[in-house]
Amino acid sequence: MPSRRPLIAGNWKMYKTSDEAVDFVKKFLPLISGVAGRDIMVAPAFTALEAVAAGLKGTEVGLGAQDVFWEVEGAFTGQVSPRMLAAAGCRYVIIGHSERRQFFAETDDTVNRKIRAALAAGFIPVMCVGESEKQREAGQTFSILDKQVKDGLKSSPSAISPRSSSRSRSGPSISSSTGCCRTTTSSATSSASRSWAARSTAT
């Protein structure tokens, strides 16, 4: 089986203006000089995407968005389409984050719509799944995660398999962005957030 290629993803959430984000990138890039064998992605706020894209130009660091809507365009106030994110320079998009599920009524169905739209647009989706503290204490962790993964990836372009270390590999694939079986805890929801990156057929 091909070895997994780790993805280090930085979700900046609702922090940093465009100027602050660009200043951070200038300080961040020297710190990761020489890092190899893994992909690195940062996901600033929508308002800072183009500015950060310019700051990352010529580097190996990928630009990601914190969310996406599944329609190409239309009367969807406050939403951002895949085409808009592509124009801003994004290569990745975070989908199904626990805060989107908790505060903005994200469901497994909307996650699935976003995953399919992201893959169709040529993005690498970073799909987040995770149980709540109450669900974990009730022993429901694996059943919740199983449902989120299956429902989130249903009707995807093809079967999902571990992401190869080869960037030229065709076909969608999936891997843990934090490493196999490792988790991070969200202080906002006290849930264990586990993220996967599904690579589309576009390489």
The pLDDT, as a whole number, for residue 103 is 93
DSSP annotation of 10 reads: E
Among the listed residues 118, 34, 27, 194, the one whose alpha carbon sits nearest the alpha carbon of residue 42: 27
pLDDT over 80 (residue 43): yes
Q: What is the mean pLDDT of residues 64-85?
A: 97
The pLDDT, as a whole number, for residue 195 is 54
Residues 6+ apart with CB under 8 A from 203: 167, 168, 169, 170
Domains of the chain: 7-199 (3.20.20.70)
Q: Sort strands 173-176 and 124-129 into parallel, antiparallel or unpaired.
A: unpaired
DSSP-assigned states of every residue in 30-73:
HHTTT--SSEEEEE--GGGHHHHHHHHTTSSEEEEES---SSSS
CA distances from 30 to 5, 59, 157, 180 (A): 22, 11, 38, 28
Structure tokens at 167: 């960037």
Query: pLDDT by residue (tens digit) across 123-143?
Result: 999 999 998 899 999 999 999
Query: Crossing angle of helices 108-120/141-153, nearest 10°?
Result: 40
- Distance, in Å, from the CA atom of 92 to the CA atom of 189, rounded to the nearest integer, reads 24
Query: pLDDT by residue (tens digit) across 5-29?
Result: 899 999 999 999 999 999 999 999 9
Query: pLDDT by residue (tens digit) across 162-185?
Result: 343 333 333 233 333 333 222 333
- H helices, E strands: number in the chain: 7, 8
CB 173 within 8 A of CB 198: yes
Instruction: Give the chain's mean pLDDT.
Output: 81
Q: What is the mean pLDDT of residues 143-150?
A: 94
The pLDDT, as a whole number, for residue 1 is 59
pLDDT over 90 (residue 187): no
